[in-house]
């Protein structure tokens, strides 16, 4: 079998020496790369931009739907027009059963007469010479109904205190407030005096 002879570049180009071969190869490489750059500039520009640009990821976190609904309900809640404490206090008045004020006098006089019809001196207290005075405050609503009553100054004797409270309860309900009394509730202070009269 015949041996195959290898040929070098000098055999094909006998005029080239070693230095010239390196120079020619270097020039050919430059020309080839320059052609690639001129022919496809986007490749290098894209590569350069990718190296410089940074991507940032931003996550917008939506609050839970329950919180959104609660905030929406609070924002759309109707404005309350409930009366303030001052307005509620203006819906009532406190007077004495013996008042002389024009607005309340006619009605207070009527209430006093109704109570006197049921107010008596307990026999056991009279027989034992028990005397005393006390003060009660009672509350009426606009329709004349008795809301409550309580002793604010005791006579010191339960029999006298109880007799006065009972007279107020028996006299109720009272007549409704007239139009001249522009309140919803009326607090009335009433004094009761139990005093025995002795004949000479």
Q: Which domain holds residue 147?
A: 88-194
Q: CA 126 to CA 109: how far, in whole Å?
A: 27
> What pLDDT, on the 0 to 100 scale, is given for residue 22?
72
DSSP 106: H
> What pLDDT, on the 0 to 100 scale, is given for residue 182?
92
Is this structure's pTM higher than 0.85? no
CATH number for 132: 3.30.1150.10
> What pLDDT, on the 0 to 100 scale, is given for residue 107?
98
Please list the alpha-helical segments (H only) found in the chain.
9-12, 18-39, 41-52, 65-76, 85-89, 105-116, 123-127, 158-171
Instruction: Look at residue 189 and tell me if it is in a domain.
Output: yes
Q: CA 93 to CA 73: how far, in whole Å?
A: 39
Per-10-residue mean pLDDT for the chain, 200 residues long? Answer: 51 58 72 67 48 43 50 48 45 96 96 97 95 98 97 97 97 96 96 87
> What pLDDT, on the 0 to 100 scale, is given for residue 197?
86
Instruction: Look at residue 99 and tell me if it is in a domain.
Output: yes
> What pLDDT, on the 0 to 100 scale, is given for residue 131?
97
> What pLDDT, on the 0 to 100 scale, is given for residue 55?
42
Percent helix, strand and coil across the chain, each to the nearest 5 = 45, 15, 40
Instruction: Look at residue 48 and tell me if it is in a domain.
Output: no
Instruction: Look at residue 38 and tell me if it is in a domain.
Output: no
Q: CA 33 to CA 184: how far, in whole Å?
A: 103
Count of structural domains, the chain: 1
Instruction: Look at residue 77 and tell me if it is in a domain.
Output: no
Instruction: Look at residue 47 and tell me if it is in a domain.
Output: no
């Amino acid at each position: 079998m015949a041996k195959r002879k290898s040929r070098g570049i000098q055999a094909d180009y006998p005029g080239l020496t070693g230095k010239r071969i390196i120079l020619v190869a270097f020039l050919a490489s430059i020309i080839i790369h320059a052609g690639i750059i001129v022919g496809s500039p986007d490749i290098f520009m894209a590569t350069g931009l990718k190296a410089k640009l940074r991507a940032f990821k931003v996550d917008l976190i939506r609050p839970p739907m329950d919180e959104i609904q609660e905030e929406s309900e609070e924002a759309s809640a109707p404005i309350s027009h409930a009366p303030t404490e001052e307005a509620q206090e203006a819906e009532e008045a406190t007077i004495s059963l013996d008042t002389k004020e024009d607005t309340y006098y006619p009605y207070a006089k009527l209430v006093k007469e109704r109570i006197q019809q049921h107010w008596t001196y307990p026999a056991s207290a009279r027989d034992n010479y028990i005397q005393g005075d006390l003060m009660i405050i009672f509350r009426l609503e606009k329709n004349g109904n008795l809301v409550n009553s309580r002793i604010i100054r005791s006579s010191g004797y339960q029999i006298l205190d109880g007799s006065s409270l009972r007279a107020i309860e028996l006299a109720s309900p009272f007549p409704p407030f007239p139009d001249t009394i522009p309140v919803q509730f009326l607090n009335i202070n009433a004094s009761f005096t139990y005093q025995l009269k002795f004949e000479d």
